[in-house]
Amino acid sequence: MKDHAYLFEGLTLKRVLLVSLLCVFAATAIVWFFKNTWLDLLVSALCVGYTSMVFFTMATNLRQRRVPPWVAQVASIILGSFVGTVLAGVVKGRDFGSMFTERLFGVLITMSLGIGFGCWAVWIYYNREREAKVAAELARARAERSELEKNVLQARLALMQAQVEPHFLFNTLANVQHLVEVDPPSASRMLESLIQYLRAALPRMREDTTTVGRETDMAKAFLDIHRMRMGSRLDYVVEVPEALRCRPFPPMMLITLVENAVIHGVDPCCEAGTITIRASEEGGKLRFSVSDTGRGISPKKGTGVGLVNIRERLKALYGTGARLVMEENVPRGVVATIEVDVSSPVAAPAPVAAPTAQAA
């Protein structure tokens, strides 16, 4: 029995009360048209009502896919009305046989009334269900939107906090400190690169968008510093067409990829490595990529906060119009590409600006 308990799910006290109320209403509404007493009609109505209610509940819960649920439900009302009418006759002590002969007319009327009121009740039920569904959908859409807003805010916050790494800064200054003594021209060059990098890195945190060109220059300054520091171990190539330099692009994403390429790609493998920054436009997509010839990604190595942050920010800024793709480089290393649909609205944090829910 326990296995079939699910068939009666939804058969709540509330439902029983509602059906009872409906029966009282039905009996009252039709008492003027019949010779029967109100009590007599109420007994019939309750028999039909309860039977139909139970059958309807079972039909709703039935796990079947042969017919659409509403067909099963209507059938359950018809069947329920019939069984209920017979039951009413039995309750009132009527002769079972006569119900299908001289009393057939009365039985049919009771059944039809049962079906009529039953369908009306089902109609009410459906409307309420649909309202509940719409309300749930609306709540879900609202939750989704607030989630998105939260992501946008978090991404912004992370961007604000993405400061120049102190380790990088102090190590570079230590290099400059030494070069000032032993090789002043180099010291000056390194300082210049550091200034260029800082100038790009510091104010940019508060902007929503910058350009491909500015991001490239910043990455170049960063790589210049690392090239001097790492000696012959690091080399870099920049292939960014002049025409693409003025394209808008979100800040601090390229530099994160370049940092990863240096710190997780070239630096750990102790030979020399090359980093290539490439921008291209093809098929309505702007691609900005950083490839290295470093040691590559091992399958169990962490994916890093930086990449997760880029993904979140791309989602917040472009929705599905942008993605970060990671690939293996040939013969080794990693290529990280940020791909943005050129047609997509550029770097406007739209979800916050558009407060209307779609489901409404």
Partner 1 sequence: MEAPTAVIADDEPLLRSQLRLRLSRLWPELVVVHEMENGRDIEQVIAAHQPRLFFLDIHMPGVNGLEAARVVGKRAHVVFVTAFDQYAVEAFEQGAIDYVLKPFNEERLATTVERLKERLAGGTAAGGASGNSHMEDLIEQLASRLAPRNGEHLRWIKASVGQSVRLIPVEEVLFFQSDEKYTRVVTAEGETLIRKPIKELLDELDPDRFWQVHRATIVNVDAIASVRRGLKDQAEIALKGHRETLIVSRNFTHLFKQM
| Contact footprint for partner 1 (CB under 8 A) | 6, 63, 65, 166-167, 169-171, 173-179, 181-182, 228-231, 267-270, 297-303, 307-308, 320, 323, 325-328, 334-335
| Cα gap 290→195, rounded to integer Å | 23
Q: Is 41:85 a contact under the CB 8 Å cutoff?
A: no
Question: Minimum distance between the CB of residue 191 and partner 1, rounded to whole angstroms?
Answer: 13
Report whether 326 contacts 297 (CB < 8 A).
yes
Tokens of 193: 């690169």
Q: Which is nearer to partner 1, 76 or 175 (CB)?
A: 175
Range list of β-strands (E), the chain = 210-211, 234-239, 248-249, 273-282, 285-292, 322-328, 334-341
User: Would you tell me how many other CB atoms lie within 10 Å of the CB of residue 98?
Assistant: 12
Residue 267 C-beta: closest distance to partner 1, Å: 5
How far, in Å, CA of 203 to CA of 206, rounded?
A: 6
> Residue 19's CB: how many other CB atoms inside 10 A?
22
Q: In terms of CB distance, is 208 or 235 closer to partner 1? A: 235
Instruction: In angstroms, give the least distance from the CB of 99 to partner 1.
Output: 39
Closest approach of partner 1 to the CB of residue 328, in Å: 4
9 or 207, CB closer to partner 1? 9
In terms of CB distance, is 117 or 168 closer to partner 1?
A: 168
Cβ at position 158, least distance to partner 1 in Å: 17
Distance separating alpha carbons of residues 188 and 208, to the nearest angstrom: 32
